[in-house]
């Protein structure tokens, strides 16, 4: 079994981006992060994004509206960022409080600053295999992990567990694209799928993104499969100072010995998500510079 080291691959990508940004004279790329409320996971994700931006030389700004912000106020804030010529990328941290319509907020971000890749136009470009848009960071990071760990999806049966807009649907579309590294045969499973384990056992590449701790067990995996564990779940653990531990959607101890390759949690897909956000921000900077 080979462990796909997301930290190592993300570090390489970050070093590439840092070298590229160092060549920019004048204004540096600027990423604006909007975090509504104090969701603990969001607080830690946004901190990590700020830290990585600083490491690369990308300017980051953080806006912290109160949890009581209305949809209209959040739209007005996004409109201001869309119009600000010094802002290259905008990221509104998900999840938003329940009273806000998250998809409507994603649509409000100007497509050319949508470094999270959730705007309708950018999702559409993934379906059209049009590289001028932004691919959402977690699916883009998974494709990069697969490519850099020598996994070609061509002719492989790729089974995606989960159909969210953030992970499941876009990764399925990317794996399906008719291009080098992709070209897989894709099955998407969700909570309405019957015989789930029958399908997952057929996977040459299994991508688990359902948000259920250690859901995928050894009996659901074909020996020799490549397993990508997207899940980041906080499970109560009294032995930890924080009171919780992080676990993926895959039961790593029993599944890992069966696999050809597997990503750990933490240290797999997570670091790649942040690295791809930076890659998208640098791309947005180039797009603006070309205007
Ligand atoms: P969502 O909750 O938005 O989607 C979960 C999906 O899994 C849904 O499609 C749901 O089906 C499906 N599902 C849930 N339970 C089952 C089940 N028992 N059987 C079959 N399908 C099921 O989650 P996300 O896609 O946003 O996130 C998934 C996981 O990935 C989470 O742990 C999240 O924390 C993590 N994540 C990690 C990131 C990273 O950087 N590594 C980034 C983003 C997310 P249905 O549609 O029918 O409800």
Query: pLDDT digits over 55-83, tens only?
Result: 999 999 999 999 999 999 999 999 999 99
My answer on whether 97 and 146 are in the same domain is: no
Q: Is residue 80 part of a domain?
A: yes
Residues of the chain with pLDDT > 70: what percent? Answer: 100
Burial of 25 (0-12, 13-18, 19+ CB in 10 A): exposed
What is the pLDDT confidence band of residue 150, given thresholds at 50, 70 and 90? very high
My answer on whether 209 and 257 are in the same domain is: yes
My answer on whether 156 and 107 are in the same domain is: no
Residue 274 CB less than 6 A away from ligand 1: no
My answer on whether 86 and 169 are in the same domain is: no
My answer on whether 91 and 161 are in the same domain is: no
Q: Is residue 277 part of a domain?
A: no
Q: Is residue 285 part of a domain?
A: no
Q: Is residue 281 part of a domain?
A: no
Structural domains in the chain (count): 2
Domain that holds residue 37: 25-111
Q: What is the per-residue pLDDT across 187-239, written as a single tens digit (0 to 9) for each?
A: 999 999 999 999 999 999 999 999 999 999 999 999 999 999 999 999 999 99
DSSP letter, residue 195: S
My answer on whether 84 and 171 are in the same domain is: no
What is the pLDDT confidence band of residue 240, given thresholds at 50, 70 and 90? very high
My answer on whether 141 and 264 are in the same domain is: yes
Which of 211, 235, 267 maximizes ligand 1 atoms within 8 Å of its Cβ, making it the mutation to test the pocket? 211
Q: Is residue 173 part of a domain?
A: yes
Residue 139 CB less than 6 A away from ligand 1: no
What is the pLDDT confidence band of residue 288, given thresholds at 50, 70 and 90? confident
pLDDT at residue 290, as a whole number: 82
My answer on whether 154 and 255 are in the same domain is: yes
pLDDT at residue 289, as a whole number: 85
My answer on whether 146 and 73 are in the same domain is: no
pLDDT at residue 10, as a whole number: 98
My answer on whether 158 and 106 are in the same domain is: no
My answer on whether 146 and 106 are in the same domain is: no
Residue from 116, 204, 229, 249 carrying the catalytic annotation: 116
Report how far ligand 1's centroid is from the alpha carbon of 290 (Å).
37
Q: What is the per-residue pLDDT across 9-51, written as a single tens digit (0 to 9) for each?
A: 999 999 999 999 999 999 999 999 999 999 999 999 999 999 9
Three-state DSSP state, 177: coil
My answer on whether 223 and 162 are in the same domain is: yes
Neighbours of 27 (CB within 10 A): 13
Q: Is residue 289 part of a domain?
A: no
CATH number for position 257: 3.40.50.720
Q: Is residue 256 part of a domain?
A: yes
Residue from 28, 88, 93, 261 carrying the catalytic annotation: 93
- Whether 177 is a known active-site residue: answer no
CATH number for position 54: 3.40.50.10860
Residue 61 has phi, psi (to 5 degrees) of -120, 145
- Whether 93 is a known active-site residue: answer yes
Report how far ligand 1's centroid is from the alpha carbon of 89 (Å).
25
Neighbours of 23 (CB within 10 A): 6
Cβ atoms of 250 and 229 closer than 8 Å: yes
């Amino acid at each position: 079994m080979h462990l796909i080291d997301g930290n190592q691959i993300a570090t390489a990508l970050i070093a590439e981006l840092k070298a590229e940004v160092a060549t920019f004279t004048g204004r540096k790329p600027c990423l604006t992060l909007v975090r509504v409320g104090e969701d603990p996971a969001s607080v830690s994700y946004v901190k990590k994004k700020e830290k990585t931006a600083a490491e690369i030389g990308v300017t980051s700004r953080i806006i912290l509206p109160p949890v009581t912000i209305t949809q209209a106020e959040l739209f007005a804030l996004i409109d201001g960022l869309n119009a600000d010529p010094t802002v290259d990328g905008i990221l509104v941290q998900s999840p938003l409080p329940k009273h806000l319509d998250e998809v409507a907020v994603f649509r409000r971000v100007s497509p050319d600053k949508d470094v999270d890749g959730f705007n309708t136009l950018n999702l559409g470009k993934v379906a059209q295999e049009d590289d001028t848009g932004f691919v959402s960071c977690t699916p883009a990071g998974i494709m990069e992990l697969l490519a850099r760990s020598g996994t070609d999806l061509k002719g492989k049966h790729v089974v995606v567990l989960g159909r969210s807009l953030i992970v499941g649907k876009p990764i399925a579309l990317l794996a399906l694209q008719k291009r080098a590294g992709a070209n897989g045969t894709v099955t998407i499973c969700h909570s309405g799928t019957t015989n789930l384990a029958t399908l997952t056992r057929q996977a040459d590449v299994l991508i688990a993104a359902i948000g259920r701790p250690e859901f995928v067990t050894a009996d659901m995996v074909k020996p020799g499969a490549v397993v990508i564990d997207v899940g980041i779940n906080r499970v109560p653990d009294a032995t930890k100072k924080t009171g919780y531990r992080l676990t993926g959607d895959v039961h790593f101890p029993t599944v890992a010995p069966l696999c050809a390759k597997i990503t750990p949690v933490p240290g797999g897909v997570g670091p790649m998500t942040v690295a791809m956000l930076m890659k998208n921000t640098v791309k947005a900077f180039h797009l603006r510079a070309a205007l």
